[in-house]
Structure 1
Amino acid sequence: MNQPGYKKNLTRCLLLLACCLSSTNAVAAMARVVYPLTASEDADSRYEYDWAVLRVALQKTEARYGPFELHQSTHPMSSQRVAQELFTPGGRINIFARATSPELEQQFLPVRLPIDRGLLGYRMFLVRDSDLPRFAAVRTLDDLRKLSVGQGKDWIDVPILRAAGFNVVEGTNYPGLFGMLSAGRFDFFSRGIDEAQREYRERRGVHPHLVVEPTLLLQYPLPLYFFLRRDAEGKLLARRISEGVEVMIRDGSLNTLFQQYKGASIKAGELQKRRVLHVRNPHLTPETPLSRSELWFNPLTGK
């Protein structure tokens, strides 16, 4: 047997095997993250910022956790369907973003870092233009309670507002809520600062009599979290996303993204000119990181 040739061929085989194993491991290490498409219509930009934060958080952690693929589900899902898909092992998504509740935090794995720095808890109203004088006359929560508020079915805002004494009318789907408001089924649609303004721009062609109410601001703590499946993949992704968002907080990139997506709406809302009405959120869990001031933004002070 030709020993030198044998050893040379053996070395080549081992190197080839190592390359194959390395390639296999690289493919296995690729994190595939799938978030839900929430509406079949074009006019639905509610979650663009959330997925931008997710992408950057994954990018910030590539050196430690490896490459990733970020995809949107191919079919639109209702909020109920989103939860069902994430709850089901092997479901079509493995992450969603939503205002938190004790039930969500028990059923799924939350990343307890508020994606939008708590901005969702500052609420402006979409109303019918003919009702503007009624809202201009509101001075207290008792005044506002005389008007009915619309929300999506099973949204976390529903129990918060009902606990505060409001008459809440629920709609079964998001696009239908604008039609319900136009038809007088309720008096105002309570939305986040940037949501109200974007939705007004997106919907005014179809609902020309809806406007953003200019005098009031309703506020309650409402953290928006990423949620993942409670399995090994979910725990790994939750750890990765948490570490990535923490990096974004420290290096300022979260605030940069926040200002890019939310800054214009905050400025346009002229919040300092509004009467601010506060209500409690009795549904926050003890783990809510309210003591970490760097996680929260106050749009009234700009800090």
Structure 2
Amino acid sequence: MRETLSRRSALSLSARLANSSSIRSILKKVRAAGDQSMRKKMIVKDHPLLSIRRQYELLDVNRNRLQGLEPTANTEDQKIMVLLDSIHVREPTFGARRLNAVLRRDHGYSLGRRRLRRLMRAARIRVSYRHPRTGIRAGGHKIYPYLLCGLEISKADQVWCTDITYIPMARGFCYLACVMDWHTRGALGWAVSTTMETTLCLDALTIALATGRCPQIINSDQGSRYTSAAWIKRVKDAGTLVSMDGTGRWIDNVRIERLWRSAKYEDVYLNAYATPRELGKGLADWFERYHATRPHSTLDYRTPRQFHAEEAA
């Protein structure tokens, strides 16, 4: 029986005899077909008579040790996150209900409320309208006031802004942090990581400060990375004032929100990078074009590099 017993025939035999008095002796023979690794291979995901759970029991296999039998939720989640991100870039005012409606109508996905909000958080999707407090601040972290209200920003290095965004890839995703000069639109420092940690923000800031420039004010959101002690210390050590967006006020950091839109539509969505290394190289090329050759309508169709040089002259 060891030599001739296939996984389908073994499971079918077990199913037919499941209620007979000889089930125990039959199951002993089924289990004798091999060790645990061989019995794992006998599981049939789409068996017409037996559920996955029942097959675990009949073949005496630990369910927790089986791999690859359950649907791969992460893969589907990543596909949905890419769709959510592309919808959000086009329609930044869409909340969870409208996003869910578009997913259901255009892509055939119908998500529960908790799953949708979890994926929105992972993709750093923040609806672009004023709304009640939805962000969760880190306990004990100080929130600094917004210093740009009524401020005329008329020169380079007067104000820098910074943020983190979700970057979809062909497989998986990364996070991009950037520090940008508010007046010249120049992206002074940026960094990519597979995790959204404070070090990602610090890396981008370190690169920006390494240019030899330093702002009077640096503005961010109220996320835990930007309220952390490490971030606040690094900013203050540079002799810079800390400014933070009002709660739910996406427009307070609108400059960098527009940068994300440009980066995604002009590079990320067009190339579908497969690895963080490829993403880093691709973004490096795009940021160089962004500074050197891409005309900006808000700068009278000059590049950030050209505009800054003329301002400094």
TM-score by shorter chain over 0.5: no
Bigger strand share: 1
Give the TM-score taking structure 2 as reference length.
0.29
Quick check: which has more Rg, 1 or 2? 2
